[in-house]
DNA sequence: GAACTCTAATACATAGTTGTATTTGAGTTC
DNA sequence: GAACTCAAATACAACTATGTATTAGAGTTC
């Protein structure tokens, strides 16, 4: 039960990370605007002093939180996609990967919060857009390689098709979350599948 | 310049409506959570007394605001779609209609706010879902009639396709709003067009 | 037009939030 | 181990928001 005696830097990093995790919980639960600094630090087991000593503002904390999730998702995605493979394998792996991400309710809510915040905070929007474009480009790469493998031409610029894909998935995820009864997983996947198939495989 | 002397009911209705309009402005500007009752009434030229005399809560006001917009949009849509017409005419009119709705930034933001609020307020979500399903059914009707006219079978249940359509449009609208530089109107429309075409016209 | 009624203003009491200024104490340096 | 440094706690002052209770005054009723 010997608890390690932390160095100052380790201790600070621990606080920093705990605050981020607590913020994820509280923001998902109450929403970004309604989540007070007090709420976040209390959830993490600290007082507000810890917050102001670690972050300049709530928005800054939030963007760091999103950054971490973005990097995680991105890394996972690359691990799947970077090895060259067959069309069928890619399809299968993307589906599997997608199902995994799709299930994570907390992070889904965080990104939804982030999007509305981006509508009115220009600085925040700039950061978020950067992540968004990275993701788009990753997806556009896949689409481009996909069409190359098939030897056909994409029906629109791959980057635009990538935006469409992201829009479609996010939007469906929203309905799936708020009206699960009317749009169960199977229906959502089926509808997505139809559109993907007809767009990318026709 | 003779200002009409209003009856009590007229006066009350006027206040009610003005508060709704002011709320639309303020909520779009600051977000639902950050928009205080004071902000809203001040914007309308009243004090908080007017608010509490007209609404039970901010959420109730908001849902009424959304209801009005929903009914407007719906009525407009029906006016276009209810008269039987050719495939080409429908396509053209939907495009025109869509472009009009697509432009309205304020209401777009309001619905985005509404969606995140729906994630955590069950009562609010129930109301919003009702509007959402009405819209889905309207669109599903169009899709169904569309395939009947063409004499082919829809590739998925029309209601699910309707959800996809809504998801896609909302999602693209979001990118178009936050990253207009990367996704200008033409690109968004083009990408949407490709997906619609390949899904519905293949 | 006097008594009445209801809408919106005002007053009030409470509670929550923010950021900074200051203090405390655990880690660091020598 | 004494002096030092910095992360986090605490204290503080200003501000904002909420809902209700009460009041004022414009419409209504007779």
**A202 CA to centre of own chain:** 29
Task: Read off the pLDDT band of B4 (50, 70, 90).
Answer: low
Least confident of A55-69, A88-102, B124-138: A88-102
Q: How far apart are CA A73 and CA B46, in angstroms?
A: 48
CB A112 within 8 A of CB A177: no
Say if residues B146 and B89 touch (Cβ distance below 8 Å): no
What is the CB neighbour count within 10 angstroms for residue B40? Answer: 26
pLDDT tens column, B33-78: 999 999 999 999 999 999 999 999 999 999 999 999 999 999 988 8
Q: Which nucleotides of C are covered by protein (CB under 7 A)?
A: 6-11, 16-21, 27-28
B170 lies within 8 A of chain A by CB: yes
* A46 Cβ within 7 A of any nucleic strand D atom: yes
pLDDT at B194 over 70: yes
| Strand D closer than 7 A to residue B4 Cβ | no
For a pLDDT cut of 70, what percent of chain B falls above it?
Answer: 96
Strand D contact at CB of residue B186, distance < 7 A: no
Q: Give yes or no for B129 touching A (CB within 8 A).
A: yes
User: CATH: 1.10.760, 1.10.357, 3.40.1180, 3.40.390. Which one for A63-200?
Assistant: 1.10.357
Q: What is the mean pLDDT of residues A69-94?
A: 81
The pLDDT value recorded for residue B159 is 94
Predicted pLDDT at A128: 98
The pLDDT mean for chain B works out to: 90
The answer to whether B10 and B2 are in contact (CB under 8 A) is: no
Q: State the CB neighbour count (10 A cutoff) for residue B138.
A: 16
Name the CATH topology of B57-200. Answer: Tetracycline Repressor; domain 2 (1.10.357)
pLDDT at position A2 is 41
Among B132, B166, B183, select the one facing A163 at the smallest CB separation.
B183
CA distance B59 to B66: 10
pLDDT at residue A132 tops 50: yes
User: What architecture does CATH give domain B1-55?
Assistant: Orthogonal Bundle (1.10)
Which residue from B119, B156, B164 is facing A112, i.e. has the nearest CB? B119
pLDDT, tens digit, 9 for 90 and up, residues A140-187: 998 898 888 889 999 899 999 999 989 998 999 999 999 999 998 888
Name which of A109, A113, A164 is nearest B195 (Cβ-Cβ).
A164
Indicate whether A89 pLDDT > 80.
Answer: no
Q: How far is B6 from chain A (nearest CA, A)?
A: 39
Look at residue A77 in the predicted model and tell me its pLDDT: 85
The answer to whether B179 contacts chain A (CB < 8 Å) is yes
Query: Which residues from chain B sit within 8 angstroms of residue A170, using beta carbons?
Result: 167, 171
pLDDT category at A69 given cuts 50, 70, 90 is very high
What token pair was written down for B2? 């003779």
pLDDT of residue B1: 35
Is residue B191 within 8 Å of residue A164, measured between CB atoms? yes
Q: B118 to chain A: which residues are within 8 Å by CB?
A: 178
Helix, strand, coil percentages for chain A (3-state, nearest 5): 80, 0, 20
Report how far residue A69's alpha carbon sits from residue A111's, in angstroms, rounded to the nearest whole number. 10
User: What is the phi/psi pair of residue A16, to 5°?
Assistant: -55, -50
Contact A178 B125 (CB under 8 A): yes
What is the pLDDT, as a whole number, of residue B2?
A: 42
CA of B19 to C1' of D30 (A): 34
Nearest residue (Cα to C1') for D8? Answer: A50
Give strand letter and number of the nucleotide nearest A11 (CA to C1'): D7
DSSP per-residue codes, B171-182: HHHHHHHH-TTT
Instruction: Show the CA angle centred on residue A197, arms to residues A194 and A199, nearest 5°.
Output: 105
The structural domains of chain A, with segments of one domain joined by +, span 1-55, 63-200
Say how far apart CA B78 and CA B75 lie, in whole Å. Answer: 5
Q: Does A126 touch chain B (CB under 8 A)?
A: no
* A63-200 shares the fold of A1-55: no
User: Which B-chain residues 81-120 have CB contacts (< 8 A) with chain A?
Assistant: 109, 112-113, 115-120
Q: What's the rounded mean pLDDT across residues A183-192?
A: 85
Highest mean pLDDT among A82-86, A142-146, B101-105: A142-146
């Amino acid at each position: 039960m010997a608890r390690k005696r932390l160095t100052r830097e380790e201790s600070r990093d621990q606080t920093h990370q705990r605050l981020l995790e607590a913020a994820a919980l509280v923001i998902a639960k109450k929403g970004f605007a309604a989540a007070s600094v007090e709420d976040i630090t209390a959830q993490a087991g600290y007082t507000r002093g810890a917050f102001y000593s670690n972050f300049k503002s709530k928005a800054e904390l939030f963007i760091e939180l999103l950054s971490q999730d973005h990097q995680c998702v991105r890394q996972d995605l690359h691990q799947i996609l970077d090895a060259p493979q067959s069309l069928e394998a890619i399809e299968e792996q993307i589906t599997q990967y997608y199902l995994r991400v799709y299930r994570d309710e907390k992070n889904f809510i965080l990104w939804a919060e982030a999007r509305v915040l981006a509508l009115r905070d220009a600085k925040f929007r700039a950061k978020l857009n950067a992540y968004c474009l990275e993701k788009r480009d990753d997806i556009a790469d896949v689409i481009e390689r996909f069409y190359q493998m098939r030897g056909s031409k994409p029906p629109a610029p791959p980057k635009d098709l990538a935006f469409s894909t992201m829009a479609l998935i996010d939007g469906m995820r929203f309905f799936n979350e708020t009206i699960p009864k009317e749009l169960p997983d199977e229906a959502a996947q089926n509808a997505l599948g139809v559109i993907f198939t007809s767009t990318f495989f026709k």
